[in-house]
């Protein structure tokens, strides 16, 4: 399985960023080691897990490939892991590709015609698939058929080609960017949520065991708490704290070691990353706490609006620091306080009925 050639826009960051939710240089091998292999090993996401269990079990009983599955949510929450688990639970082979790799319909046609019955086809970053390939996918998902166009101009003919019944698993950080027809062809959408601290605690303990790292409960709880609700970050912080424990202490991860290590790596109390902090700081200092439009905010921090919207905002909203309102983004009193500032009288007092996302 070569899940390391899936690269999104920001799939391979040039510089190392301890808090990024995206995989960093050289991290994919460790991720493979730490990836849960079966549904039962997969921590958290109880809702998606239960729903998926039903979809898979019922297909197994009926002896047919299950409906196509779409997994949606911020980076590092386990979409790729789940896709591989689906294949493992079905005892099926998995073929892996990504939206950006399917530039020409021919690329997809080749992939589809090589599928065997019951195979899982995993398309990462599926919202970035090119239009012609997307249209080919409609027919493939619905009728297990592709139309191959032969020739050009008026003499062109399309030859229908049967493909083996398969299950498509799509992953996206941006389900809103999927076209309606594509979204409608998935029988099941798993909406991945940020993890609770107690779930991340289990993720950290499991990874520590696999990597043979000695860790105190207070140490793993602290790492979990500062991991931004994201397993990928939890596993990374664990490795950085391990480094510190080995070099500056006796190798065991305690609460004190964890705190000292995270201070060195500039991980703040809540685990906010550089971009999160930049967004909050801009919102508070340059725009008086908002409301301000997301594109203006993105320009202020030198990022793409999509990145601010898909990567940064979901966690800030969940952490209760940012509110999305029809008039723009607003910093809550918690955000001001987190930046060590006194919130203005009316900070973040948003009319609840006006809240939207």
Catalytic residues: 79-80, 124, 173, 232
Annotated ligand binding at 34? The verdict is: yes
Residue 24: half-sphere exposure toward Cβ, Cα within 13 Å: 14
x/- letters, 225..254, toward ligand ATP (CB under 6 A): ------xx--x-------------------
Annotated ligand binding at 81? The verdict is: yes
Annotated ligand binding at 143? The verdict is: yes
Annotated ligand binding at 60? The verdict is: no
Residue 31 binds which one of Mg ion, ligand ATP, none, with CB within 5 to 8 A depending on kind?
A: ligand ATP
Label residue 218 exposed, middle or buried (CB < 10 Å: 0-12, 13-18, 19+).
middle
**Phi, psi values for residue 356, rounded to 5°:** -150, 165
Annotated ligand binding at 80? The verdict is: yes
Residue number, 31 or 119, with CB nearest to ligand ATP: 31
DSSP string computed for 220-286: HHHHHHTSTT-HHHHHHHHHHHHHHHHHHSSS-B-HHHHHHHHHHTT--TT---HHHHHHHHIIIII
Shortest approach of ligand ATP to residue 262 CB, angstroms?
Answer: 19
Q: Does 44 bind ligand ATP (CB under 6 A)?
A: yes
Residue number, 80 or 332, with CB nearest to Mg ion: 80
Shortest approach of ligand ATP to residue 22 CB, angstroms?
Answer: 6
Q: CA-CA distance, 338 to 103, in Å (whole number)?
A: 44
Q: Does 170 bind ligand ATP (CB under 6 A)?
A: no
Q: Does 78 bind ligand ATP (CB under 6 A)?
A: yes
- Contact predicate 140/110, CB 8 Å: no
Q: Is residue 151 within a helix (H) or strand (E), and if so which, with residue range?
A: none
Q: CA-CA distance, 126 to 143, in Å (whole number)?
A: 20
Annotated ligand binding at 37? The verdict is: no
Angle ∠(252,227,283) on CA atoms, nearest 5:
140
x/- letters, 61..90, toward Mg ion (CB under 5 A): -------------------x----------
Q: Is residue 330 within a helix (H) or strand (E), and if so which, with residue range?
A: strand 328-331
User: Which residues, other chains included, contact 56 with Cβ-Cβ below 8 Å and sequence gap of 6+?
Assistant: 39, 66, 86, 89, 90
Sites for ligand ATP among residues 196-215 (CB under 6 A): 203
Shortest approach of Mg ion to residue 297 CB, angstroms?
Answer: 26
CA 34 to chain centre: 16
Residue 271 binds which one of ligand ATP, Mg ion, none, with CB within 5 to 8 A depending on kind?
A: none
Sites for ligand ATP among residues 283-322 (CB under 6 A): none
The footprint of ligand ATP (CB under 6 A) covers 22, 31, 34-36, 42-44, 75-81, 171, 173, 203, 231-232, 235
* Binding-site sequence positions for DNA: 324, 329
């Amino acid at each position: 399985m070569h899940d390391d050639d899936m690269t999104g826009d920001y799939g391979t960051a040039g510089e190392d960023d301890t808090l990024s939710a995206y995989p960093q240089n050289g991290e994919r091998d460790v991720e493979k080691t730490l990836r849960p292999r079966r549904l039962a090993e997969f921590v958290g996401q109880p809702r998606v897990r239960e729903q998926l269990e039903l979809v898979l079990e019922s297909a197994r009983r009926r002896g047919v490939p299950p409906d196509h599955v779409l997994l949606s949510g911020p980076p590092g929450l386990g979409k790729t892991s789940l896709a591989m688990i689906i294949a493992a639970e079905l005892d099926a082979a998995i073929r892996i590709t990504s939206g950006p790799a399917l530039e020409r319909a021919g690329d997809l046609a080749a992939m589809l015609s090589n599928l065997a019955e019951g195979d899982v086809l995993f398309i990462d970053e599926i919202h970035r698939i090119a239009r012609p390939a997307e249209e080919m996918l409609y027919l493939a998902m619905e009728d297990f058929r592709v139309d191959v166009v032969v020739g050009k101009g008026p003499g062109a003919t399309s030859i229908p080609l049967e493909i083996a019944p398969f299950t498509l698993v799509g992953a996206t950080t941006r389900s809103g960017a999927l076209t309606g027809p594509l979204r409608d062809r998935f029988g099941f959408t798993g909406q991945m949520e940020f993890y609770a601290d107690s779930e991340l605690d289990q993720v950290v303990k499991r990874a520590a065991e696999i990597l043979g790292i000695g860790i105190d409960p207070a140490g793993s709880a602290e790492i979990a708490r500062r991991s931004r609700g994201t397993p990928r970050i939890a596993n990374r912080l664990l490795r950085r704290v391990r480094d510190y424990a080995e070099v500056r202490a006796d190798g065991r991860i305690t609460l004190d070691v964890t705190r000292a290590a995270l201070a060195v790596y500039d991980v703040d109390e809540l685990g906010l990353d550089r971009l999160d902090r930049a967004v909050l700081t801009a919102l508070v200092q340059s725009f008086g706490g908002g409301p301000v439009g997301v594109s203006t905010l993105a320009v202020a921090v030198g990022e793409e609006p999509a990145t601010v919207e898909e990567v940064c905002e979901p966690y800030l909203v969940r952490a209760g620091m940012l509110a999305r309102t029809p008039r723009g983004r607003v910093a809550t009193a918690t955000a001001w306080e987190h930046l060590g500032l006194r919130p203005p009288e009316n900070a973040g007092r948003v009319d609840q009925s006006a809240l939207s996302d």
